[in-house]
Structure 1
Amino acid sequence: MNQNQQLELSKEKVPLFKFILIGDQSVGKSCIVQRYQNEEFKHNIKATIGVEFIKKLVQVDKGLVELQIWDTAGQEQFRSVIRGFYRGSAAVFIVYSVNQKESFDQLSIWMNEIEQHAHPEIIKVLVGNKCDLSREVQTEEAESFMNNNKFSLFFETSAKTGENVEEAFIQSAKLVLLKYFSSESFRQATRVNKKSADPINIIKSFSETQSFEGQSPNIQKNQNQSSCC
């Protein structure tokens, strides 16, 4: 990063970037986010209903960036709601489970969602989670999918052990920052201020226009639905 870029970064203080995690139910998206946020792992975590989020400050070179990380539900009935959250996202993690071949086979469906609803320059990160378990998806197969679909990064992670979880977010944040300074269209598409990007405001706006099977997100979040992460 050159001096002019560092100056621009310092003027903006701490820039905010939206990340979104997508993929089938039970591939471990929530566990990845939990591991990254709290450095912990819990079994039988509740299934995500609609969307949930965290915020995290990340050190990139000599500066800080703030990540707003959106954890989305994998169930098909929430797809229409989730589509709105691609807007303004700088990076998308497409997650599958290495011990569940079906979740890998469904990646083409998620790729279609990205192509239709995300910015064309969004940083795409392929994540094979649960690499601590016996696998049904080989690394070579995933690497081939990555290359054929022009992903920027690929990681095999374990939310349980923490393997590659932090590294995936840090390396993605670096790529996002480089893209931010090199592409005007990307910069415009991902430029958000902290007020407009406040997760509470975003969820409120969606709850006023969308329904989660007839209920608001806040009501459904209180339901006890469990899923292996």
Structure 2
Amino acid sequence: MSLGSSSSRNHYGEFNQKIDYVFKVVLIGDSAVGKSQLLARFSRNEFSIDSKATIGVEFQTRTITIDHKTIKAQIWDTAGQERYRAVTSAYYRGAVGAMLVYDITKRQSFDHMTRWLEELRGHTDRNIVIMLIGNKSDLGTLRAVPIDDAKEFAQRENLFFMETSALEATNVESAFLTVLTDIYRITSKKSLVANDGSDSTGNSSLLKGTEIVVPGQEPSSGTKSTCCGST
């Protein structure tokens, strides 16, 4: 979604930064797999050892530049527990990207990926960009999910895949930027088609980004985090 003349606060609180696109990305997966820590690492370059379980829904934003365009990434995080399933429809609405997160030390969290993916695809555009993330790669000695199992699942479902460590900041930056860059590629293609006027149907099969505003809540922009290690 191109926002043209929209603006965003810089570090001094001034509204002078033009935002070209706003992309909503959702984090999904079982509770305690590290979704909130991935969000904190990407948006604020922070990690908290004493992190508590997410209650309800929260989100953070971070502004990045891709191909000389300013993109505001709005990353949403929700509790993985079943009792919070009522937020499903509103949580997924307008999402153009998703991070499907499991814990490499908990086989059950990986086995649940099929269910989470089915729910995601049932509530979003069929061309949503999805990254499968095996988090807590720093706990390799406790691994319960072979990397080949995850690669096979990702290939079968046409997903991006990376293993990350929010604790060590490994691949967190790379994972989010891969998703955001692919969203940008698809959205840019949609804009070109629309400008050509060659698709009278509006080319609805391509992604349509939507900025979601929570009443009474102003998300804080994250600071740029350091680049991550390679796989």
Which band: TM-score by shorter chain?
0.7 to 0.9
SS in structure 1 opposite 2:134?
strand
Q: Distance in 2 between matches of 1:186 and 1:180?
A: 11
CA gap 1:202/1:42 in 2 versus in 1, 3 angstroms: closer
More helix by share: 1
The aligned residue for residue 188 of structure 2 is: 181
Once the two structures are overlaid, the 10-residue window that deviates more, 14-23 or 42-51, is: 42-51
Q: Give the length in aligned residue pairs.
A: 191
SS in structure 1 opposite 2:96?
strand
Q: Distance in 1 between matches of 2:148 and 2:97?
A: 23
Matches within 5 A, 1:74-223: 74-133=80-139, 134-151=142-159, 153-183=160-190, 184-185=203-204, 189-190=208-209, 192-193=210-211, 197-200=212-215
1:90/1:123 contact within 8 Å kept: yes
The amino acid across from 1:51 in the alignment is V
The aligned residue for residue 63 of structure 2 is: 57
SS in structure 2 opposite 1:163?
coil
Identity %: 36
SS in structure 2 opposite 1:95?
strand
The aligned residue for residue 40 of structure 2 is: 34
> Deviations 1:61-92 (Å, cap 9, x if unpaired)?
32220011001110011122133221110101
Once the two structures are overlaid, the 10-residue window that deviates more, 135-144 or 9-18, is: 9-18
Q: RMSD of the alignment, in Å?
A: 2.1
Cα deviation, residue 162, structure 1: 0.2
Q: Distance in 2 between matches of 1:89 and 1:116?
A: 12
Q: Distance in 1 between matches of 2:184 and 2:81?
A: 31
SS in structure 2 opposite 1:167?
helix
Q: Distance in 2 between matches of 1:117 and 1:101?
A: 26
Q: Which runs of 5+ in 2 are unaligned?
A: 7-17, 191-202, 219-231
Q: Distance in 1 between matches of 2:54 and 2:4?
A: 36
CA gap 1:200/1:10 in 2 versus in 1, 3 angstroms: closer
> Deviations 1:25-56 (Å, cap 9, x if unpaired)?
00000000111122121113111111100010
The amino acid across from 2:29 in the alignment is G
